[in-house]
Structure 1
Amino acid sequence: MKFFATIPFVLGAALQAVAQVSDAAKAAELVADLKKAPTQVARLNILKNNRDWLFDYNAGVGTVRSAGGNSTLANVANFPALFANGMAMAIGHMAPCGMNSPHTHPRATELLYVVNGEIEAGFIEENGARFVSNTVTQGQGTIFPKGSIHYQVNTGCEPVTFVAALNDEDPGASLIAQRFFGLPPDVVAATLGDVGVKEVVNLATGIPDNFVIGVDRCLQKCNLKRGQQSKNQQQPRVDGNAFPN
C-alpha cells in the first residue's frame, strides 16, 4: 500500500518537471523573437498577453533550495519581459543560522533589502580592496558591487527574508568554493600551499550547496546542529579537472 501511495507524488513531480521544461522552451523562443525586434513597441507586441508581464514568485520557477534556505530569481530566462530592461530580482529566505555562501554576480551589482530579522553581510571586491561588512536589519539595505565576492548570514534563530535587485537581466552567479575546488586538484593543492591533492579531493567532495547551515556561533546560540546538506552544485568533472585515480 505504501508503494501505491507514492505513485501520485512521483507522477506529480514528473509532470511538474515536464511543465517546467516546456515553460523554459517557450521562454527561450520569446527571448529569441525579442532579440530580433527593432523597437520597444515591437517587443511589446511580441509580449502581447498581460500575464507576460507578471512573474509569480510563489510558483517555484527559478527557485533554488538547499539546507540553509532558498531563493527565487526572476531573470530573462524565466521572465522574458525583462529583456533589454537591465534588471533582475531575487527573493531569498534563509533558515535560522542559514547562510548564502560566498559567491559573485559576474554581470551585475546587487542591492539587497532585508524584509525581516537581521543578517550579517560582507564583500571583497578585488586585489588590494579592504573587506566590507555590515549588520543589516529589517528595513535596511546594502550593496554588493559587480563581481565582488559576497555572502549573507542569518545570525538569528528565526527565518529571514530578503529582496535582491540586480542591474542586469542575466546577472549570473558563481559559487566561490564550488568553482575554485572544481579546478584541477593539483592546481588547487599548489594554490593552497601545503595542502595535498588527497585533502583537496576530500574538501571538494564535501562542499554543500550555496544555502548552507551557517556559522558555529549561531548554531550554538540557537541550539541547532548542522546535519546533512545537499551537494548538487559541485563542479562536474571532465578530463581536465578529474580526480586522480
Structure 2
Amino acid sequence: MLFADVAFLIATTVASVASAAGTGINTNLVQQLKVATTNMDRMNLLPESSDWFFDFTKSDKYTFSPGGVTYADAATFPATIGNGMSMSIINLGPCSMLPPHVHPRATKYAVAVKGTTHTWMITENGAPVIEETLTAGQMTIFPQAAVHSMMNVGCEDAQLICSFNSEDPGSNNLANAFFTMPPNITQTILGAGVDIQTVAGQIPGVGTGSNAGSEQCLKACATKSKFIKKSF
C-alpha cells in the first residue's frame, strides 16, 4: 500500500514544479514592519498609496502556459505584514495542475473564478481523501498542512482566488521534498527495483507553480478538436 501511495505521488509530480511564494522585494522594510511597535509605526513605514497596491497580473508567475501561482504575501507585498493573511491567484491552463503540496503555516480557502478545477486533499494518515470539482462561484478549504493538489480538467483556462490565514503561508512540494532525503531512505521506501536517480532527475525545481497535467485530459481535449501543447 505504501509503495502504491508513493507511486501515485511520483506519477503526479514527475513534471511538477513547487508552488512557492516569491522572494523578498525589500528585506529591510520587511524587517522594520515585523518589529514595529504600533500600527502607527507601521503606517509611517508605508506612507504612500502605492505601498497598499498590488497587481497580480504584473508577476512573471501570472501565466496560463501551463499555469502559475502569484502570491501577495509578506515576501511580495509588505503591506500584508501585521494583518494576519495573504492572497494568491492560481492560473491553470487547459489540463494543467498544481502538484501535491502543503502550506505549513496556513489554512487555504480556494474560490473558483472560471473553468473547471478538480481538487484532491488529505489531512493526515488515516483521514479520508476529499475530492471536489469546482466551477465559478464555488469553493473548498485545505486545512493547514493538508496535502492537496488541483487540476484543470477542462479544455479552457481555469482560475482560482485563494486566501491564507498567514502573511507567510509557505509551500512545500512533496515530490521535491521526498527526493532531498538520503538515498538509503528513498530507496528503502520505493524498493530496490526503482532507479532513484533517474526518477529524481525528472522532477524539475521550483518554477511558476504549475505544470502540464494528465495525458487523459489532453487526449480528451484532442477529441474535442482542442489540441493543447504539453509544455513545462
TM-score (norm 2): 0.81
More relative contact order in 1 or in 2 (CA 8 Å, sep 6+)?
2
Matches within 5 A, 1:1-245: 24=25, 27-60=26-59, 63=61, 68-196=66-194, 199-208=195-204, 210-223=209-222, 224=227, 227=230, 229=232
Q: Deviations over 1:182-240 (max 9, x none)?
A: 212221110123444xx1111111124541211222111012567453xxxxxxxxxxx
Higher helix share: 1
Q: For residue 121 of structure 2, give the secondary structure of its aligned residue in structure 1.
A: strand
AA aligned opposite 1:207: I
Instruction: Please list every run of 5 or more consecutive structure 1 residues that lacks an aligned counterpart in the other structure.
Output: 1-19, 230-245
AA aligned opposite 2:210: F
Verify the 8 A CA contact 1:113 1:139 in the aligned structure 2: yes
What percent identity do the matched residue pairs reach? 36
The structure whose Rg is larger is 1
**Aligned-partner Cα distance in 2 for 1:135–1:213:** 18
Q: Deviations over 1:144-176 (max 9, x none)?
A: 010011010000001111111111000000011
**Aligned-partner Cα distance in 1 for 2:193–2:139:** 39
**Aligned-partner Cα distance in 2 for 1:189–1:218:** 31
CA drift at 1:65: 6.1
Q: For residue 57 of structure 2, give the secondary structure of its aligned residue in structure 1.
A: coil
Match of 2:5 in 1: none
Q: For residue 202 of structure 1, give the secondary structure of its aligned residue in structure 2.
A: helix
AA aligned opposite 1:222: C
Distance 1:155 1:202, change over 3 A: same
CA drift at 1:67: 5.2
**Aligned-partner Cα distance in 2 for 1:66–1:105:** 22
**Aligned-partner Cα distance in 2 for 1:175–1:226:** 24
Q: For residue 40 of structure 2, give the secondary structure of its aligned residue in structure 1.
A: helix
Verify the 8 A CA contact 1:213 1:226 in the aligned structure 2: no
Q: For residue 58 of structure 2, give the secondary structure of its aligned residue in structure 1.
A: coil
Q: For residue 170 of structure 2, give the secondary structure of its aligned residue in structure 1.
A: coil
Q: Deviations over 1:38-70 (max 9, x none)?
A: 111211111111111111112216x37695311
Q: Deviations over 1:90-128 (max 9, x none)?
A: 111111000011110000100001001111001111111
Instruction: Please list every run of 5 or more consecutive structure 2 residues that lacks an aligned counterpart in the other structure.
Output: 1-21
**Aligned-partner Cα distance in 1 for 2:167–2:176:** 24
**Aligned-partner Cα distance in 1 for 2:176–2:228:** 23
TM-score (norm 1): 0.77
**Aligned-partner Cα distance in 2 for 1:150–1:94:** 15
AA aligned opposite 1:102: P
AA aligned opposite 1:36: V
